[in-house]
Structure 1
Amino acid sequence: MFMLRNLGKALFGDGNKQDVISIDQGQLYIVRPDSPKGYSECIFKDSVACIRRTSTPYHYQLVIQRAYEEGEEQLIDDAEDADDLKDEKIFLLDESIKFRSLVKEGESVFAWRDLSGDSGDVYEFVVDPSIDSTTVANFSLVAVQCQYERKYRKAHTEASEKELEEFSFQESPIPPASPGLSPISSPSRSGSGTKLSGTPRKFKEPEPLELPSPTPSEPDSDSPDAQLFAEARSEVKSEEKADAKVETKAVAQTDAPKAVARPSSGEDLCEEEAELHLYDINSGTFVLKAPSVLATVSDIGHWSYWLDISDKEDGKCWLGTPVIADLNPVFNFEYFSFIFNYFAEDGIAYSWLLRFKDTESLDRFQEGLMRALWEQLNETKWLKAKDQDRDYVLEAFQEDIEMLDAEEGEEEEEEEDEEADRTSEHYDSDEEYDDVAGQPEDGDVNSQLAVGYKHDRSFVVRGDKIGVFKHTPNNKIEFATTINKIKTPGGLKFAPTKVMLHQQDSNMIMQREGDPHTLYKMDLEYGKVVDEWKVHDDIPVHTFTPDSKFAQMTGEETFLGISNNALFRIDPRLAGQKLVDSQLKQYVSKNDFSAAATTEKGYIAVASNKGDIRLFDRLGINAKTHIPALGEPIIGLDVSADGRWILATCKTYLLLIDAEQKDGKNAGKLGFEKSFAKDSKPRPRRLGLNPSHVAQMQHETKQPLSFTVAKFNTGLDAAETTIVTSTGPFVVTWNLKKVQRAQKDPYTIKRYQDEVKADNFKFGSDKNVIVALPNEIEMVKRETFKKPTRESFAVGRRQGRSRVVEEY
């Protein structure tokens, strides 16, 4: 079949048309040969299959759309529970789905893997007998060419016959769409949703698809495609008797990287026996590499530690790596497993899994590894830490401990999230694309995002400019204006490094690089800086935050600031320096404060680059509660309005902390109000991406994890339900209830082509996320985020420029 590759030049036709090729009639099945749910299910009894271009070059989608009989579509549209997602299924044409075809006893079938299902599950499109064999063969050829373009990022016309053969997966058998019966003639297949059970019969060796001479209408002789079409027909004619059966190349499993030998070491902190598995990118599974290895954590001196994994029988070294935060460690006591990332010298990420024989073995290994990681980050001996601090650290890294009490966990899950889970393996097809080519020429990119609370506005900082955008009633972003050439009152042009909306969103407080002792006030109505404030000659302002959670909705003039070792109030009404001396808490030691956040009542949380967090009920006094560090610097902080939940952002993970006390005389009180008892502690949860997902992300983007500051959704009288952050081109949202209940798959993702610069929820909503990209800003529905699969990691739609770029 690949001898006819030039035929695709004609089949691809006009590059402006969205659909490349289509088959107008067929039936779509999901086949689960080994599932207790039933052998197969007819999803669409009458449907259309097409291959569609996307806005991303060299990316194509396989789209199966339900077809309606006359009057049926109107009836469905009028129903209260009408859902467009039920009428279309979309799949990225990638080699991972192993798209293949066969002709058996006159019936043509296309099949591809269900990436979100169990092993062996496939989708099958059974072509209606009325469709001629030429159309079927052409469709199969175009699918191969699309997969070639996606993998090699170049036109299929440059492909050799051997290169196209790589995308033939005829060695993968296609089970019958229904057991014991021909898929086409099955009398029991009477409608959408029909389930069939039984033992499937074995297929005979499938007949290869032959590609006869094409019969589509020829283009005009003067058209650019005319000669190409003629060449294709000539090639078909000369080779129509050739055997189209091809030898296929098996997709290789992920190979283990070259092991690094363990350096000379001192004390072994732990050594445990386990099974060793390596995550295979192509199959999406962990593959057993060694049934019995010894995993050893050693102290190699100077606060450095080493993890060595060697075969128990022959001593072969499988893996050696420093114990550092980039391991992204995840412990699961339900399966006695430890999953972690390893980054090779060439930057490629691998995901490894150790499975231990029992809970006791995993317990010992966890304590040894966490001791090494904690000592490496804190340069302090683990045994010097308090017992409750050590328990806090160990608990934070366990993914299967609930954070809610039983009575709190009875609330039902959001219906919308469940629907999103059911459709997560497919692509969102209702997004609007801007069709504006090119990139801005100002040399700047969007860097910061400030979302209005009082008014429906978002503000995007871009160099020395600010773009202003309206939030429309239909939850879109609309350009309003641009504030150009930001200058100090003295006329010095600058690009703001930090911004905060203030006083009912009428003003913006900003800071300029290189001057940490001064802040500036911009009047947003006039679009100019109207005041310059010297905060203090000796105390710099590292960052600043509102006096309380919703202070920016009021006329409150004061706000809070922090330096490396001080927390203070700033009052612009004061003459001279603006720091309020009576509300200054300064520490003798360098605490290296990095972030702060406030509750609705004005309670204050302050985090540091050491990784610890202090909770205050007011300024000028000692902290009520000190939450110990896991080790990594905290780069951002948010707090729920009621003060119960604290959200800290580190480079490679988030930390969610329950600040409510559960027992003792202070039961029901927050850590802001009363100190935790000596034998009590906050309840933490480390929110990290699954190491296998990290490996897939890095495989796609070649970028390490680096989270933006995470935020809760927020609004007056609105409960926090969701968390949003981003890393590289991925926006990630966590469902708070799922996290609190230790449910599986608590996060969803949305991928862009470009790096996400900033993100936040629209005020008062957990359904809409505002995303700032280097040259654009948009508002997206959270329901368009997908469950993490290889498909959702791989796709990245190209953005058109928004008007902020055009106007800048």
Structure 2
Amino acid sequence: MGNSGSAPEPDTDEFSSPAPAQEPAGLTLYKGERNSKGDFQWKEAAGGIHASLYDANEDATGRRPEWHFELEGGPVDLNAVIDDDFVFDLASRRVLFTVDNTIWALHTPAGGVFEALHAKYERALFENKWGLEDTLENRNKIMGTDGLQMIGKETAESLRAWADDMDVDVPTAAELSTPPRERLVGRRDAIHGLVMGAGDRSYLIRDGEINVMRNVLGGMEDAAVKLSFGMPESGGTPGTGRRSTRRSSLGPAAASGGGSLTPSRALLMAAESKMAMLTPLRKSNLIQADIETGRVVSEWSFQKDGVDIPMDDIVGDTKASQLEDRQTFLGLGTNRLVRWDMRDRAGVVQEMGSPIVQYAGGKDYARNTNFTCMATSGDGYVVVGSQDGRVRLYSESTLTQARTSIPSLGYPITDVDVTYDGRWVVATAAHYLMVVMTTYRPPGSEATLCGFTSRMGANSPAPRLLRLRLEDALRTGNKPLQKGRFTWVTERGRQERWVVASCGSYTVRWNLRVVKTANAQTVSGGGLTTVDQYQLLSKEEHVVDSAFMHDNFARSHGESMVVVTDNHVYNINDDEDSS
């Protein structure tokens, strides 16, 4: 690329490595600052500067590429390693990035300069992320043959598919701009987790005990009840029950000691009358408690062919299964996806003393799949995230092979969720949420297919990224996004309307309908449409979880949500009458 005149259009058919040539002069640099009122604004820092990309390891034999973005000619020379945090604003031809906790925006003139810079950035990003030369062969190696289309740039067909159901469900301006109201519900020391119920109760996980919360319209209230489950003794023999005589206590919660357990995962079952729990100390065992009596009634072993199988996560067969009298559920291990059955092989519910959970189906993967999280839809479709960043979609009938595998963007997936109808998936990574539309139409067909039951491949609409604006990422201390999930719906005909995630001491809410109708004016992560319109709710301490109340407890004029911090519980509502 030359040093004068307009830059040529990038050659999108080739994947050659970006050349370390300078861009033309005439670029303008802006610095992001907050004024005395705390509002973010741009201030011109320099004009007539030069921008270039170069590989710092170009002459180092055997070292992976390390591409940098460098600006020269202004009062301050800037240098940033190429990563996913660069944002390209197509409408204003700006490149936004951060250097040493300061936000900068590079404005480019018309004439193809912006497009050429973006193309070179994408090639440099690929090489930095994967350590390989950016060739078509290497892209296929990393992403698969269809991967370039599955996580590629937005097309007209993709835009149409995303907005297909928006004719009857468009968000109002007031809905997007009105901040929700909050109410402090109570204070508890050392809250570790939240178990949401769709019935009368939800639960706070604490050290050695579980506090019962009463679900009410618009949120929850303290029920002044605690459950303190005793850890069953280890070493029991098959066919014998392992029961705890430790019962629930009424009144204000107090610290419990002794052998009381603190679950790492908890799942409500049997119309929310029982709670199944995993503990870090016994990952191949499932502890089941009766919530009505406040007692541990049995401890089950996860086994296949007589061998104990450790589990890292458990979820219900479907999104509504905790409301039903089901005896099956799903378990996830590092390289295992399993359906477990608490009945014997003849289909009769086991006695409480039986310690073996039957292996009812699934797969042990020989390769390192490194599964991290899973979720289920209303029909029992299963979405699984992994350490390598891939998202896999399984049908309700088989767990042995994913129908669709969505390529990695290079970062571990820590949480996943799926809408009740299975049309949308959200996958959480440290600095973005990826929303995937799972329905698609094959070329030349009017039939609508689903990625959970058939392979999407190159036919899938491009996913979209939800991320914080750079100034808000700095405000949160660059803390990771966690536990992205949709509005909680458990019946057909209801639409999820929001996506929520936690980030340090903040809760972030994106309107799902805004996500569906977003245009490709802002892109990141290699060219994916990026949505940075959201509500940011601040707390004074770390947010443990942010979760929507079940649809039964949402107020009529908006969604109801609960935010749990290290020591406090808040009800969050859109309804003006919630205070």
Question: TM-score when scaled to structure 1?
Answer: 0.56
For 2:192, the aligned partner's letter is S
- DSSP-derived class of the 1:410 partner: coil
Instruction: For 2:152 and 2:52, locate their aligned partners in 1 and report how far apart those are by CA, in whole Å.
Output: 19
Q: Which residue in 2 is equivalent to 1:88?
A: none
The structure with more helix, counted as a fraction of residues? 1
Q: Which residue in 1 is equivalent to 2:214?
A: 470
Tell me by how many angstroms 1:661 deviates: 1.1
- DSSP-derived class of the 2:452 partner: coil
For each residue in 1:260-283, what CA deviation from the matched residue of structure 2 results, as whole angstroms up to 9, or x when unmatched?
A: xxxxxx974775454322211226
Instruction: For 1:535 and 1:375, locate their aligned partners in 2 and report how far apart those are by CA, in whole Å.
Output: 43
Tell me by how many angstroms 1:692 deviates: 2.2
- DSSP-derived class of the 2:193 partner: strand
Tell me by how many angstroms 1:753 deviates: 1.2
Tell me by how many angstroms 1:515 deviates: 2.6
Q: Which residue in 1 is equivalent to 2:315?
A: 545
Q: Which residue in 1 is equivalent to 2:292?
A: 525
Instruction: For 1:518 and 1:367, locate their aligned partners in 2 and report how far apart those are by CA, in whole Å.
Output: 51
* Residue 753 (1) aligns with residue 497 (2): no
Native 8 Å contact 2:184 2:568 kept in 1: no
Native 8 Å contact 1:268 1:299 kept in 2: no
- DSSP-derived class of the 2:361 partner: strand
Q: Which residue in 2 is equivalent to 1:488?
A: 232
Question: Cα gap change, 1:674/1:510 in structure 2, threshold over 3 Å: closer, same or farther?
Answer: same
The structure with more strand, counted as a fraction of residues? 2
What are the equivalent positions in structure 2 for 1:555-566 lying under 5 Å apart?
A: 555-566=325-336
Instruction: For 1:517 and 1:469, locate their aligned partners in 2 and report how far apart those are by CA, in whole Å.
Output: 29
For each residue in 1:241-288, what CA deviation from the matched residue of structure 2 results, as whole angstroms up to 9, or x when unmatched?
A: xxxxxxxxxxxxxxxxxxxxxxxxx97477545432221122621222
- DSSP-derived class of the 1:578 partner: strand
* Residue 707 (1) aligns with residue 481 (2): yes
Tell me by how many angstroms 1:667 deviates: 4.2
Q: Which residue in 2 is equivalent to 1:281?
A: 34
Instruction: For 2:21 and 2:330, locate their aligned partners in 1 and report how far apart those are by CA, in whole Å.
Output: 46
Tell me by how many angstroms 1:456 deviates: 2.8
Question: Cα gap change, 1:666/1:598 in structure 2, threshold over 3 Å: closer, same or farther?
Answer: farther
Instruction: For 2:356 and 2:430, locate their aligned partners in 1 and report how far apart those are by CA, in whole Å.
Output: 35
What are the equivalent positions in structure 2 for 1:97-496 lying under 5 Å apart?
A: 268=19, 272-273=23-24, 274-282=27-35, 284-291=40-47, 292-298=49-55, 300=57, 302-311=63-72, 313=73, 318-325=77-84, 328-342=85-99, 344=100, 349-358=101-110, 360-383=112-135, 384-386=138-140, 388-395=146-153, 402=159, 404=161, 408-411=165-168, 413-415=170-172, 418-419=173-174, 421=176, 432=183, 445-453=190-198, 455-473=199-217, 475-484=219-228, 486-488=230-232, 492-496=259-263
Instruction: For 1:572 and 1:381, locate their aligned partners in 2 and report how far apart those are by CA, in whole Å.
Output: 51
Question: Cα gap change, 1:406/1:681 in structure 2, threshold over 3 Å: closer, same or farther?
Answer: closer
For 1:769, the aligned partner's letter is M
- DSSP-derived class of the 2:69 partner: strand
Q: Which residue in 1 is equivalent to 2:347?
A: none
Question: Cα gap change, 1:276/1:663 in structure 2, threshold over 3 Å: closer, same or farther?
Answer: farther
What are the equivalent positions in structure 2 for 1:400-799 lying under 5 Å apart?
A: 402=159, 404=161, 408-411=165-168, 413-415=170-172, 418-419=173-174, 421=176, 432=183, 445-453=190-198, 455-473=199-217, 475-484=219-228, 486-488=230-232, 492-536=259-303, 537=307, 539-574=309-344, 577-580=356-359, 583-617=361-395, 618-664=397-443, 665=445, 667-677=447-457, 679-695=458-474, 697-698=475-476, 703-715=477-489, 716-717=491-492, 718-742=494-518, 746-764=533-551, 765=554, 767-782=559-574
Question: Cα gap change, 1:489/1:768 in structure 2, threshold over 3 Å: closer, same or farther?
Answer: farther
Instruction: For 1:485 and 1:561, locate their aligned partners in 2 and report how far apart those are by CA, in whole Å.
Output: 22
Tell me by how many angstroms 1:615 deviates: 1.0
Task: Report sequence identity in percent.
Answer: 23
For 1:285, the aligned partner's letter is Q
Unpaired runs of at least 5, structure 1: 1-265, 785-808
Tell me by how many angstroms 1:589 deviates: 1.1
Native 8 Å contact 2:314 2:332 kept in 1: yes
Tell me by how many angstroms 1:380 deviates: 4.9
Instruction: For 1:763 and 1:433, locate their aligned partners in 2 and report how far apart those are by CA, in whole Å.
Output: 19
C-alpha RMSD over aligned residues: 3.0
For each residue in 1:629-649, what CA deviation from the matched residue of structure 2 results, as whole angstroms up to 9, or x when unmatched?
A: 001100000001111101001
For 2:341, the aligned partner's letter is D
Question: Cα gap change, 1:681/1:385 in structure 2, threshold over 3 Å: closer, same or farther?
Answer: farther
Instruction: For 1:564 and 1:530, locate their aligned partners in 2 and report how far apart those are by CA, in whole Å.
Output: 28
Structure with higher Rg: it is 1
- DSSP-derived class of the 1:395 partner: coil
For each residue in 1:167-217, what CA deviation from the matched residue of structure 2 results, as whole angstroms up to 9, or x when unmatched?
A: xxxxxxxxxxxxxxxxxxxxxxxxxxxxxxxxxxxxxxxxxxxxxxxxxxx
Question: Cα gap change, 1:433/1:719 in structure 2, threshold over 3 Å: closer, same or farther?
Answer: closer
Question: Cα gap change, 1:755/1:304 in structure 2, threshold over 3 Å: closer, same or farther?
Answer: farther
Question: TM-score when scaled to structure 2?
Answer: 0.77
Tell me by how many angstroms 1:499 deviates: 1.4
For each residue in 1:279-324, what CA deviation from the matched residue of structure 2 results, as whole angstroms up to 9, or x when unmatched?
A: 112262122223232131526364452323222x58x762223334
Instruction: For 1:298 and 1:613, locate their aligned partners in 2 and report how far apart those are by CA, in whole Å.
Output: 31
Tell me by how many angstroms 1:706 deviates: 1.6
Q: Which residue in 1 is equivalent to 2:252?
A: none
- DSSP-derived class of the 1:516 partner: strand
